[in-house]
Structure 1
Amino acid sequence: MSKQIVVVGSGNAAMCAGIAALEAGASVLMLEKADQDLAGGNTKYTAGAMRFAYDNADDLLPLLKDPNDPRLAVTDFGGYTKAKFADDLLGFNGGRALSDEQKRLIDQSLPAMQWLGGHGVKFEPIYARQSFEKDGRHVFWGGLTLAAENEGVGLFDMELAAFERLGGVIRYDAAVTGLIVEYGQVTGVNIGEEVIKADAVILACGGFEASKARRRDWMGGHWDKAKVRGTPMNTGDGLAMAIEIGAQKNGLDDGCHATPMDLHMPDYANLDLPASERKNYRKICYFLGVMLNADGDRFVDEGENFRNYTYAQFGKAVLDQPGHFAWQIFDAKVDELLYAEYSFHDAHYVQAETLEALCEKLDGVDAKAALNTLTAYNDAVNADVAFDPTKLDGKDTRGLPLAKSNWAQRLDTPPFKAYPVTGGITFTYCGVKVSESGAVLDDHEKPIAGLFAAGEMVGGVFYEGYPGGSGLTSGAVFGRIAGVGAAAGV
């Protein structure tokens, strides 16, 4: 008789867990808190990009929806080795060694992508956001090359199709309210008074970023002031249930993915919009200009590294500024390089023909100090180095207290534009400790029988930041692991 598995949640990690369990011969019931329109967790809010280790284009071509795209002949994908992936993760570990979870993520990233491809999940090169044209070729940068067809919405749709094709069943409006524990083993879940028995339960229901109270109580700092850029459903219920029965917490309490977002966006990125448009409130082209706070000062090195490696930290940096906001300043030279979200119909910005006039329009900012900062920045730009967005170009500033290390161009071409931003929280990093088979561990490193976890529920994957695109890959890797483990009962 096949194992009966309950998966809590319906995002990328939950779907991968369900697909893997079905593939291993189990029967799977997926329970989703949201209605059908809001199902899919944070997955639908993403751009669908997935970071994984690969040697060269030969690893990518079998994953593509259109392997005959004529652009491929003039595309330089480069490679992204396991060693480079490890270095990128270590750069956000605050001096910590690679965790066991990070090692699993790296080692299983390409196999997970190939496995998804085998279930009909197809990908497209991220030409618009991850490549620049140079000498007639499309040059990819930052190690991030592929996104799911139709981005996060497409990823969810393709995974759901695979899940249902294999016989999986999903129930909507089915919020799990408790875990059933009998003789030390998880044997099912409650939905209110309803009892659903199972041989194993996989918690893949996200972090706690959508709960202002839990952000305040568990994270501290200014996190209760953050905009929530993802689903309203991720309120930490699964994490609280697991901890209540003895699960070991893992990771930093205040660790999270936070991104500069439109200051005037609604929480959950405007649920009146199609899910595919909600991501357009992010504002991550700061590397092409400068950011100013309420005092008129720059507060980060906007050109420290490719934005893949900085946006998750700079969201927090913006939130930590006076009033929890900043302004991103650009001139007309970079208009064609700004991502589509800057021309999004609901994007907020001000515009002027001079920097002086622009500074007067920066609501909440010391205009005189801002103009002085921009003037000093312009005077400090290194004119001897050519601007090249395809690499860390070394076009820096000289003599400023806070340098801009790359892509520093003078702001000298009107019209000038400024976009108000704040910090938007995407997902939390603190979760539970899991075994190599995805089983949830207690404080004595012993598996809690019948309980598994995946996705944002798994702690120890990210600490003080993350290289862009790793979140969905982590969901796929740990979802697949949990599904196999739950079906095997290990």
Structure 2
Amino acid sequence: MSHRTPPDTYDIAVVGGGNAALCAAITAAEAGARVVILEGAPEPYRGGNSRHTRNFRCMHRGPMSVLTDAYGEDEYFDDLMLVTKGKTDEHLARMAIRTSEECLPWMESHGVQFQPSLSGTLSLSRTNAFFLGGGKALVNAYYNTAEDLGVEVHYDAQVTHVHRDGQKITHLEAEIAGQPQVVRAKAFVLASGGFQADIDWLARAWGPAARNFLIRGTPYNRGVVLRDMLDQGADSVGDPTQCHAVAIDGRAPKYDGGIVTRLDCVPFSIVVNKDGERFYNEGEDVWPKRYAIWGRLVAAQPDQVGFALIDAKSIDLFMPSVFPPIKADSIPELAQKMGLDPERVAATVAEFNAACRPGTFHPTELDGMATEGLQINKTNWARPLDTPPFYGYQLRPGVTFTYLGLKVSDQAQVQSPEGPIRNLWAAGEIMAGSILGQGYLAGFGMTIGTVFGRIAGKEAAAHVA
């Protein structure tokens, strides 16, 4: 199936094979278009970063499917503004938020099944709908739906060039299973992700520190199509140094470690750098609104590494880690096992413990249990590290996806200084920087991909018709 020679002309060629690409392909095929998906990865790795996702952040006015209570547009938007610090296109963001409400039933009607959120998953039962079987099950369901609709799928299909002629795209050049091919279509949807797997590009943007980053997303998102469009004068949006980067286990693989490598222990930890010094408030806010800043914080430390230290009181308060923590009976022993200066770390912990103030500890909400008098105070969940055994994790920056992307309109149409490119749309991580200027909100990447994937598919099909 994946090695047939493509026919002369399709109605729509979709570049990419993750959530946004699939939503676009399904929507266009349901409108009667003849659609091909060109997925750069081999079949077992199809789906891009969507394979690693777990949930979808969704606005709703009352209980809906697995979601409890209500989560309105303004609260959702405020949550987004908090993490992006205002670096967002309000119009596009509110459109994505409002449209997310109708996406959930659409997803269910196209084979995606949901489950109630597990306890300990960042307390998201009201705001985020979790996929039964995770992102891989969602990807598989959408591929089944697409194939039922007659969408043709090619794997190992790396698009190398999108041919722009004025305000129109004429064809794609691709390597399909190693053979050069030309793919012609009347309309095109680019949904091929960010550039994070191209370490040289990351290093050009960030500096040499980026060579120490781990890429927790797919190794196939190298930004080839994004680079090609920027080189051809498409409008860009976002900053090449901004990305969704979280603190992950330092033992994770260089690529594709996915969601299981994330560590959720930070709010209950003391986090130090390799010099044994704390460098940020670990208890600033609840974890769904703060987990995505820690990749960047760790990236700014010497050797791009941090160390989270916890005690026996906290070991069961977060999702278990994929690798067991380092364990010791004393803080100096723990420091030594982690390659840190035992005296320096013991002094930091002693100073922190002495600064903790009494209060009532609430692990799932802001409890105001804070330290007093430190250069960097911890403002919630601050309890002394005093109960052995002690545990530690090495933290490294894990990049999920980059925010430099293509500027799009409300209709997901790709823009250029000469105006919109008439038959070109984009969805997902290749345009997410339009909305995510910095920071990240759990489940929001899937929201952007679903909303703009459906819009791109609908608009491309209307253009062809």
- TM bucket normalised to smaller: over 0.9
Change (3 A) 1:419 1:468: same
Give the Cα separation in 1 of the matches to 2:370 and 2:30. Answer: 52
In the TM superposition, what whole-angstrom CA distance separates every residue of 1:28-83 from its partner, at most 9, and x where no partner exists? 1000111111111011122x2111212232x234x8xxxxxxxxxxxxx3432110
Matches within 5 A, 1:223-242: 223-242=210-229
Asked if the contact 2:120/2:318 (under 8 Å) is kept, the reply is no
1:135 corresponds in structure 2 to: none
Alpha-carbon distance in structure 2 between the residues aligned to 1:34 and 1:154 = 17
Structure 2 match to 1:160: 143
Output the CA distance in 1 between the equivalents of 2:455 and 2:172. 21
Q: What is the rounded CA distance, in whole Å, between the counterparts of 1:235 and 1:371 in structure 2?
A: 43
**Does residue 107 of structure 2 align to residue 116 of structure 1?**
yes
Shift of 1:203: 0.7
Residue in structure 2 matching 1:41, options 48, 73, 77? 48
Alignment of 1:104 with 2:87, yes or no, is no
Matched, 1:56 2:44: no
Give the superposition deviation at 1:183: 5.4
Which residue in 2 is equivalent to 1:274?
none
Whole-angstrom distance in 1 between the partners of 2:153 and 2:88: 39
1:263 partnered with 2:250: yes
TM-score, normalised relative to structure 2 = 0.92
Structure 2: unaligned runs, 5 residues or longer: 1-8
1:437 aligned residue: 411
4+ residue stretches of structure 1 with deviation over 6 A? Answer: none
Q: Deviations over 1:287-343 (max 9, x none)?
A: 121211111111121111111111211111111111111111111112222312x2x
Aligned equivalent of 1:379: 354
- Secondary structure of the residue aligned to 2:296 is helix
Structure 2 Cα separation of the partners of residues 117 and 398 of structure 1: 49
Could you tell which deviates more after superposition, 396-405 or 122-131?
A: 122-131
Structure 1 residue 223: Cα displacement: 2.8
Amino acid of the structure 2 residue aligned with 1:250: V
* 1:193-204 correspondence runs (5 A): 193-204=180-191
Task: Give distance in 2, aligned partners of 1:22 and 1:261.
Answer: 39
Contact residue 269 and residue 281 of structure 1 kept, 8 A: no
When the two structures are aligned, how many residues end up with a matched partner? 451
Conserved in 2, the CA contact under 8 Å of 1:256 and 1:426? yes
How far residue 195 of structure 1 moved from its aligned partner, in angstroms, is: 1.2
C-alpha spacing 1:475/1:379, structure 2 compared with 1 (3 Å): same
Q: Return the letter of the residue paired with 2:65.
A: L
Q: Which residue matches 1:134?
A: none
CA distance in 1, matches of 2:170, 2:462: 15
Q: Decide whether aligned partners of structure 1 residues 300 and 78 sit closer, same or farther in structure 2, where only a CA change above 3 A counts.
A: farther
Superimposed CA distance per residue, residues 99-119 of structure 1 (whole angstroms, 9 cap, x where no aligned partner): 332122212111122211221
Distance in 2 between the 1:291 and 1:178 partners? Answer: 45
CA distance in 2, matches of 1:104, 1:200: 24
Partner of 2:427: 454
Three-state SS of the structure 1 residue aligned to 2:397 is strand
Pair 1:143–1:366, CA change in 2 (3 A): farther
The code of the aligned residue for 2:391 comes to K
Which whole-Å CA distance do the structure 1 matches of 2:373 and 2:240 have between them?
38
- Structure 1 residue 95: Cα displacement: 4.0
- The one-letter code sitting in structure 2 at the alignment partner of 1:115 is W
For structure 1, list consecutive stretches of 5 or more residues without a partner in the other structure.
64-76, 132-139, 271-277
- Return the match for 1:9 from 2, 16, 32: 16
